[in-house]
């Protein structure tokens, strides 16, 4: 099987429709010094690539491309490192085909 | 939050969510004359929902017998392909029958966002009040803890009803945050990603040997999930192909694989790539699938509330059935509420227990009970089931089919040896026994 490197999730998300609730992100990463294994795993596990590690080794989220699956909420439920809510009614991803 | 319980209910029932379970519940109750309020956070029903998707006709037919007249159906399934795959091959069991070309076909491919929109229009047509773009934020309870209504992100006063049907999906927050059920566990939930590939219908029909609205569905397992518990799929729609792959979240978390990388590799597998050639991708979706089966089912009813659909873990992972369980649990919840409403009986846990009794009598609980051992079996044996065996099966097929001067008895010996060496006799016997035990 072909080994693929550098699959860009941004190109996939570009197909989708969103109504972004500007200035009101529905996911926040709580302040931390060292991310747990679960939070760190979100940098590969998030299907929308919303999570990244910054220069200081902390995990950041940018939820604009979020598809609201809830995986990060479930993976970090025990550590409580993520504050997760649905976007306000009507905002967020809008599936045309689903 | 507590209330005194003196409020007058404005509705007979409130339904949280407008997926298949919520729509089924709201439709059945409203059709029977109950005053129903349904609340959905999406701009329209389906805008937040994702499925493969196959619609099993029977569950919907019991709710809307004439659904075929105007439901947005893609293709009726006449052929099922079940593949075990290694990196360069697939070994398949295919079943195709002209019997599936019947007046009332048994299975259809659908596009969930469009199907849910249609179902929702039917719900409104029988008189339910449906609020879109509104997120239920919490349940309202009286001093005894009984659920008597909901609050939403629209603010204002709560809405009251004697019973709340939680059809809020696998990632439903209301029931969990109210302590009605435990959080979903990474070990018993799968993350699936999917793309919609568009192609002219003639191309799909030629590529899959189809005529008219006939369709093919492929379910695949093997090295495509790189040792994780999971499956891939490819479904033919009218003018598009749904292709996706999903694995248990806990497996993803430890493997370091990306879901989109896995999907890209699956699409580029030599058995899949030609089926998608020349297509235009129009959507990328991700969703969780509850896969814990019978053992993961939470408490399903209490004073003033019921749980249906994915929120109740109603998915038969072995048969890839979910939306039919969702619709059936929604219908059975509705029938329970209708019966109690007509008797003027209270929506207490003791009375709502009739929902559980109805479930026990249906295929839903019977099937989930039957396969209660499967999630544990796959979890414990993922290296074998998603790696070793798919590779062995491929090698065995190749050894058997290649004509290379080696005599057939020697080939049989080589195949038997390859299985013994990979798993050992005890390992093979153990896997067989465990599989039979989990299956029966």
Q: What is the CATH number of domain B186-290?
A: 3.30.9.90
Chain A interface includes B152 (CB < 8 A)? yes
Best B285, B292, B394 member to test A by mutation, with max A CBs in 10 Å, is: B285
- To the nearest 10 degrees (0 to 180), the angle between helices B20-31 and B323-342 is 30
Euclidean distance between CA atoms B219 and B300, whole angstroms: 31
Euclidean distance between CA atoms A66 and A57, whole angstroms: 22
Cβ of A1 and B268 within 8 Å? yes
Task: Please state the domain extents for chain B.
Answer: 2-72+111-181+298-370, 186-290, 374-439
Q: Is there a cis peptide before residue B53, judged by omega within 30 degrees of 0?
A: yes
The nearest alpha carbon in chain B to A84 belongs to B173
Instruction: Walk me through the domains of chain A, giving residue ranges and CATH numbers.
Output: 27-87 (3.30.70)
DSSP structural state of residue B388: I
Q: How far is A9 from chain B (nearest CA, A)?
A: 7
| Tokens linked to B188 | 């018993």
Euclidean distance between CA atoms B49 and B42, whole angstroms: 9
Cβ of B111 and A97 within 8 Å? yes
CATH class of B2-72+111-181+298-370: alpha beta
Residues in B closer than 8 angstroms to A85, CB to CB, are 173
Cβ of B41 and A90 within 8 Å? yes
| Tokens linked to B422 | 């990979």
Cβ of B48 and A92 within 8 Å? yes
Residues in A closer than 8 angstroms to B265, CB to CB, are 1-4
Euclidean distance between CA atoms B73 and B77, whole angstroms: 11
Q: Which of A13, A69, A95 sits opposite B191 (nearest CB)?
A: A69
Nearest to B12 by CA among B135, B155, B165: B165
Cβ of B254 and A19 within 8 Å? no
Q: Which of B111, B170, B285 sits opposite A67 (nearest CB)?
A: B285
This prediction has a pTM of 0.95
The nearest alpha carbon in chain A to B19 belongs to A98
Chain A interface includes B182 (CB < 8 A)? no
Return the ∠ at Cα A53 (arms to A47 and A58), rounded to 5°: 125
DSSP structural state of residue B135: -
Could you list the pLDDT tens digit for every one of the 440 residues in chain B? Answer: 444 445 788 999 999 999 999 999 999 999 999 999 999 999 999 999 999 999 999 999 999 999 999 999 999 999 999 999 999 999 999 999 999 999 999 999 999 999 999 999 999 999 999 999 999 999 999 999 999 999 999 988 999 999 999 999 999 999 999 999 999 999 999 999 999 999 999 999 999 999 999 999 999 999 999 999 999 999 999 999 999 999 999 999 999 999 999 999 999 999 999 999 999 999 999 999 999 999 999 999 999 999 999 999 999 999 999 999 999 999 999 999 999 999 999 999 999 999 999 999 999 999 999 999 998 888 888 989 999 999 999 999 999 999 999 999 999 999 999 999 999 999 999 999 988 888 87
The nearest alpha carbon in chain A to B284 belongs to A12
Best A13, A36, A41, A47 member to test B by mutation, with max B CBs in 10 Å, is: A47
Handedness of CA B405, B410, B415, B421 (dihedral sign): negative
């Amino acid at each position: 099987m072909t080994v693929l490197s550098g699959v860009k999730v941004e190109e996939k998300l570009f197909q989708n429709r969103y109504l972004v609730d500007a200035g009101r992100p529905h996911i926040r990463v709580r302040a931390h010094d060292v991310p747990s294994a679960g939070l760190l795993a979100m940098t590969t596990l998030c299907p929308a690539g919303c999570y990244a590690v910054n220069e200081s080794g902390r995990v950041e989220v940018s939820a604009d491309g979020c598809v609201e699956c809830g995986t990060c909420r479930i993976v970090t439920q025990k550590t409580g490192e993520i504050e997760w809510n649905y976007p306000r009614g009507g905002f967020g991803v809008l599936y045309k085909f689903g | 939050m507590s209330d005194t319980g003196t409020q007058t209910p404005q509705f007979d029932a409130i339904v949280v969510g407008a997926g298949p379970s919520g729509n089924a519940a709201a439709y059945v109750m409203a059709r029977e004359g109950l005053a129903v309020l349904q609340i959905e956070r999406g701009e329209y029903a389906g805008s937040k929902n994702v499925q493969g998707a196959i619609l099993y006709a029977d569950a919907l037919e019991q709710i809307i017998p004439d659904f075929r007249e105007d439901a947005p159906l893609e293709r009726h399934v006449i052929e099922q392909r079940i593949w075990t795959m290694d990196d360069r091959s697939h070994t398949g069991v295919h079943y195709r029958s002209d019997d599936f070309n019947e007046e009332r076909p048994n299975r259809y491919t659908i596009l969930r966002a469009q199907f849910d929109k249609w179902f929702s229009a039917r719900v409104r047509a029988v008189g339910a009040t449906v609020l879109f773009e509104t997120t239920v934020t919490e349940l309202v309870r009286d001093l005894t803890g009984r659920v008597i209504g909901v609050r939403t992100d629209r603010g204002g006063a709560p809405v009251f009803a004697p019973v709340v049907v939680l059809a809020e999906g696998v990632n439903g927050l209301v029931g969990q945050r109210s302590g009605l059920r435990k959080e979903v566990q990474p070990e018993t939930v799968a993350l699936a990603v999917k793309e919609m590939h568009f192609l002219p219908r003639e191309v799909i029909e030629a590529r899959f040997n189809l005529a008219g609205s006939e369709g093919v569905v492929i379910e695949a397992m093997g090295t495509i999930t790189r040792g994780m518990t999971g499956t891939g799929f490819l479904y033919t729609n009218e003018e598009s192909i749904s292709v996706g792959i999903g694995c248990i979240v806990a497996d993803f978390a430890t493997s370091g694989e990306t879901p989109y990388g896995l999907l890209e590799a699956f699409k580029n597998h030599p058995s899949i790539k030609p089926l998608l050639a020349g297509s235009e991708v129009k959507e990328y979706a991700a969703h969780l699938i509850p896969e814990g089966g019978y053992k993961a089912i939470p408490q399903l009813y209490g004073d003033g509330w019921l749980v249906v659909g994915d929120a109740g873990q109603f998915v038969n992972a072995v048969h890839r059935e979910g939306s039919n369980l969702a619709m059936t649990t929604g219908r059975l919840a509705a029938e329970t509420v209708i019966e109690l409403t007509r008797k003027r009986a209270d929506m207490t846990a003791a009375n709502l227990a009739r929902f559980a009794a109805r479930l026990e009598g249906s295929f839903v609980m019977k099937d989930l009970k039957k396969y209660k051992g499967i999630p544990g079996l796959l979890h414990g044996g993922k290296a074998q089931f998603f790696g070793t065996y798919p590779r062995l099966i491929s090698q065995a097929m190749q050894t058997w089919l290649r004509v290379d001067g080696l005599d057939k008895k020697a080939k049989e010996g080589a195949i038997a040896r390859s299985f013994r060496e990979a798993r050992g006799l005890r390992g093979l016997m153990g896997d067989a026994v465990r599989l039979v035990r989990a299956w029966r």
